[in-house]
Amino acid sequence: MAFYLVHELKGLTSKNDGRMRIRANTSLPAAAAEDLVQKLLGIPGISKAQANPRVGSLLIFYDGPKSRTRALKLLAANEKLPAMKKLAGKEVTPGPVLGGFFPLIRYFFIRPFLSPTLRLISASISAIPFLLKGLRALFQGRLCVEVLDAAAIASSLYMRDYRTVSMLTLLLGLGDVLADWTKRHSLESLAESLTLNVHTVWRKVNGTEVATPLGKIRRGDKVVVRAGSSIPVDGIVDDGVAVINQSSMTGEPIGVKREAGGAVFAGTVVEEGEIVIKVTNVGDDTRFRQVATFIEESEALKAGIQSRSERLSDIAVPFTFGLAGLVYLLTRNFMRAASVLLVDYSCALKLATPLAVLASMREGTRLGMVIKGGRYLEALNDADTIVFDKTGTLTNASPVVAEVIPTQGHNREEVLRIMACLEEHFPHPVARAVVKRALKENLVHEEEHAQVEYIVAHGVASSLHGKRLLVGSRHYIESDEHVDLSPLSREIAEQAALGRSLLYMAEDGKLAGILAIEDPLREEAVDVIAMLREEGFKRVVMLTGDDERTARAIAQRAGIGEFRAQVLPADKAEIVKELTDQGCKVLMVGDGINDAPALSTALVGIAMIDGTDLAREVANVLLTRPDLHGLIVARRLARSTMRRIQTNFSATLMLNSLFLLGGLFNVLPASTSAVLHNLTTLAISLNAMRPHLSHHETEISYTKV
């Protein structure tokens, strides 16, 4: 086991304090993690220490360089890990990756200069891990590729073919290093994505605001958060009114009103107003951090699923051992039997399958997607149910003015002009949509009105040419200002049925007009939904927090027959689990922080490039173009790749069987069989590297881009 410093922040509240995250290269036993935390907390200057045993992570807050150094030395001494001793110095870098590639350097630049004795020692040492892995699998009753690798290495050692031993261990080891590096890099990036970057908060004590480090905030404390600031804790609003932008958590672009008694969550932002929050959860107990824990657990489970390429290789193992045994029985020649293990079926499979996957991933990058591993190509191929989050995925997550409806006696352009004139003073998304629509229609609105009075989470009030103007929500206009909305009752009902939000304008106590605001579908959404069904998806499901009527209207416009309305952020992963339990192979498409658990729970998760950082990080596939047509290309690419792997597998099995049988019955000389085997391996590898999709297959998908 080794520990590495993956992230550190200094100067949180003073020049000398800081926070560092240290991660082990494996998980930690729960008891050991707790023991480490208690020992760390016993060091003077360590204000806080937390452990996540599942991913081997330690988060340590220190108050000076001495406590930092003592903490690192304690870890090094406690676990007797030399790697930790390097961290005790002033300059610290993240865990080394290049060290894992030392076998490559050793084979090409050191091995040629070694004496025969040293080559024997080097080859034997490098072979031990693979021999042990094969024996462990065999004792567990599994006849898999690890057993075949161990048998081939052991046979080469027996025949004193140390060059072959070195080459085999080199190729096998590089695969493990790359897999470990990819996993570590993903976890480190996830940790960065989940950093709130809030270090000091204003705590209210006996009516006075006191600057306090976030690490010292406890449940029951009261925290003041003003406009423009991130909310660092979960809690209940104790006082004040504010508009909270929850787009990072829910994906919804329009802020929500929160007043006394309303719940707020870490990671969201106060857009307007000021509130006092009574803390219910802080640190790793917040919903923000619970999302991270859920993701880590889901990824750990998903990592245990064998990829299709591994299963295909395992199928060839019994045949290889059977043929080797048959050769020995017929010839009583150990070297000829061993040659079957060295020139075996898995040779081409081990080369061709990774090459096909890498070629596919490279091709995906060119076509506008990042596929984060071969197993996700398999999942893209197998998925039969696709689940969409609505906001930011099927829609643009950017509100626009869909309709301007004046009452009798008022001019449409005048209503829009006046509303834009008032709303331009406020930078929230709806106000920007109104101003943008006025600009689009070339409606000039001079500053003729009196000072604008803003009522947080309600609307605005002003006067123009002696008339009192009100612009805001239905509650503000109808309930607070007692304006009669009956002149447009039919239009209001029609717009609500279309799933649109309404902004009202009153003049001298009478309704002047309404603006219908909507989050429009992406232009390509309808076509893509139809194409996905053609690509073999049996069920298409939409999830949204909207009410039943709004959800139904949007689903109908998109061509989706199945939807779930009023879905809470925490429920999305449960719905994916429910579909999985029904036997569905779920592909989830989302863009918000609250989508991350569902993305991780699904067989494969896909995020759009314009989604939140966390969704992009957690997703297994990232569409780098803001276009849903990428889903079609990803599906076709995955299907073509899996067909190529199947074809290569069949060709490998058939041709190598013919070559081995030809050598067995003296139809082919051994040298000819070896040449044919290597030529077959080369041909299959080249076939794996060919482009998987034709120009026609990709051009169809992007015709509307």
List residues with catalytic annotation: 389
Helices (H) and strands (E) in the chain, counts: 25, 24
Where is 601: in which H helix or E strand? Answer: helix 596-601
- Residue in 156, 99, 160 with CA at minimum distance from that of residue 130: 156
d(CA 542, CA 535): 18
Residue 343: phi, psi to the nearest 5?
A: -110, 75
- Residue in 64, 286, 93, 295 with CA at minimum distance from that of residue 191: 295
- Contact between 196 and 266 under an 8 Å Cβ cutoff? The reply is yes
Amino acid at 658: L
Query: Which position has the token pair 């969550």?
Result: 265
d(CA 564, CA 503): 26
- Contact between 270 and 227 under an 8 Å Cβ cutoff? The reply is yes
**DSSP codes joined into one string, 381-405:** HH--EEEEEIIIIIB-S--EEEEEE
* 3-state helix/strand/coil string of 547-582: CHHHHHHHHHHHCCCEEECCCCHHHHHHHHHHHHHC
Residue 180: phi, psi to the nearest 5?
A: -65, -40
- Contact between 515 and 403 under an 8 Å Cβ cutoff? The reply is yes
d(CA 371, CA 358): 10
Radius of gyration of the chain (CA): 32
Beta-strand ranges (E) seen in 149-260 are: 200-205, 208-213, 222-226, 234-245, 256-258
Q: CB within 8 A of 425, min separation 6: which ones?
A: 431, 452, 454, 460
Strands of the sheet containing 3-10, edge to edge, are: 3-10, 18-24, 57-62, 46-52
- Contact between 255 and 236 under an 8 Å Cβ cutoff? The reply is no
